[in-house]
Amino acid sequence: MLFTTYQLGDHLLKNRIIMPPMTRSRAANGDVATDLMAEYYSQRATAGLIISEGTQISRQGQGYAWTPGIYTKEQIDGWKKVTDAVHKQGGIIFAQLWHVGRVSHTSLQENQQSPVAPSAILADGVKVFVDPEGKGPSAGAGEMLQHSMPRELTKDEIKAIVNDYAQAAKNAIAAGFDGVELHGANGYLLEQFTDSQTNKRTDEYGGSLENRLRFLKEVATAVVNAVGKEKVGIRQAPLTTLMGAIDDNPEETYLAAAKMLNEIGVAYIHIAEADWENAPIMPAEFKEAYRKAFSGTLIYAGKYTKQRAEEAIANGWADLIAFGRPFIANPDLPYRLLNNLPLNSPDGKKFFGGSDIGYTDYPFYKN
């Protein structure tokens, strides 16, 4: 099943193996995608679908040094190099649209402003990657710092961010992407509004579950209206507690979100399972409930092996499976999985920033 084709919207995927978003922090000055990034993604174009690294929709949405944006002409032109390279290799690529919310630092914000959030709550111990000396990604000399205290968004500012998402989606299509994925996971802005412990607002964007889902609904609706529902997916992480984002009733919250997204008609939901040691396991019953709540495509990610991926698809609660770190070190991962070949091991020290080393120099399998 993992190696069969799959129809996702207007696109026939060559297999059910997905390359998920993975921040690599190698954008050039101006947060522009580079020729090196084009090579990296094109090397991995045998995936059924590539979803780009998180790509900020605005300067305000940036939380880490050297991550690419998609809100200036220069950034759009940079991404065109990437999408052209992937398409020349027969690949399909979506852009992940990202606003980090509170998970940022004043040094990354315009005029050293505070990051923004649904509520002014600090996530103690949550750090972000910054470049205090401005040396750039090739130096690989960034620094991890506690994120800055956020301020609460006004309702007018919320509306403006909804518009930023819609414009970023249009920019992504103009840059040649085949679609977009909203980053609604890992404790960033969309999840900060959704989760009960990060949203303490008392207006129509907080309090009840319906209110906490309002921002997600407005963003998803605006993006669908901008580029078409068949070109829109969303990533969620219902049981993770990354970046201090915790919901008191995750099954109730995220199944309600799935039903809402089903009504909006997005093409897929991409579910990131918690994958660290002693992480909460997502029960099969929860996955089956997701299937009942959402009639579109379901993608799962989280330390999947070939065997677990095949089982997930056979059980009916997953359509596609994303393999993260294995894709970093194995540009030909689908071929290796198909033929049960050994996998290269990724070098974690080269994940963020740096040159082609630990990025585009991993070998393809040779007989």
- Active site residues per annotation: 188
Alpha helices in 175-230 (DSSP H): 189-194, 209-212, 214-227
Q: In angstroms, rounded to a whole number, what is the distance separating the alpha carbons of residues 127 and 21? A: 19
Closest CA to 95 of 110, 78, 111: 78
DSSP H or E stretch at residue 19: strand 17-19
Which residue carries 């996702």 as its tokens?
8
In Å, how far from its chain's centre is CA 42?
19
Alpha helices in the chain (DSSP H): 35-43, 73-88, 155-174, 189-194, 209-212, 214-227, 250-264, 284-293, 306-315, 325-329, 333-338
Q: In angstroms, rounded to a whole number, what is the distance separating the alpha carbons of residues 33 and 109? A: 19
Structure tokens given for 108 = 């990354």
Helices (H) and strands (E) in the chain, counts: 11, 14
Which residue carries 């969620």 as its tokens?
236
Q: In angstroms, rounded to a whole number, what is the distance separating the alpha carbons of residues 256 and 160? A: 25
Closest CA to 117 of 250, 209, 204, 215: 215
What are the phi and psi torsion angles at 364 (to 5°)?
-75, 155
